[in-house]
Amino acid sequence: TLESRSRANLGLIRKIEQALERNEFALHYQPKVDCRAGRVVGFEALIRWNHPVLGMRMPGEFLPLIEGSELAIRIGDWVIATALAQMVAWKKQGLDLAISVNVAANHLQQPDFLPQLRNKLAACPEIPPDRLELEVVESAALEGVAQISQLIDDCQALGVRFSLDDFGTGFSSL
């Protein structure tokens, strides 16, 4: 029934929240390759949930349940902080590579997004801000075009790069 499915989803949402508290999430890094030069130019951060019983869970199994929620924002903050920490670790090993992370629309639209991003970047002064690329899903960018556009300008003023993810698959699909 709808009620039992709703209860199950609430239980799963609570487990996702506990997973964040228990540090069960991990980022995996998919290389981004410049095919002409034949070299790795950066990575895309991909979240995984290392569930203590079920093992490694893919994002499609848990992110849709929290879409648009405060928990999604908390996880988004964790992803950005973790990606920056990884860049610091790589830098200490002599690697200077960019990481792109996906950012949810409701996360970007938070009034404190820019100050929090500024603080995270300031905590990692050895990482040039242009090594962080925020990927916004095309549909999210179109939801609040004026606000998102201003935020993109503000983030770019910090040096952070932006890209549209899944461009051409939604509104601008050919």
| Kind and range of the H or E run holding 55 | strand 55-57
pLDDT of residue 167: 43
Which pLDDT tens digit goes with each residue over 67-92? 889 999 999 999 999 999 999 999 99
The pLDDT of residue 164 is 74
Gap between the Cα atoms of 44 and 100, Å rounded: 5
Please give the model's pTM, rounded to 2 decimal places.
Answer: 0.87
Q: From the first residue on, what is the mean pLDDT of each consecutive set of 10 residues in the chain (174 residues)?
A: 63 93 97 92 95 94 91 96 97 94 88 95 96 78 68 89 62 38
Q: How far is Cα 3 from Cα 38, in angstroms, rounded to an integer?
A: 53
What CA–CA distance (Å, rounded) separates 89 from 110? 29
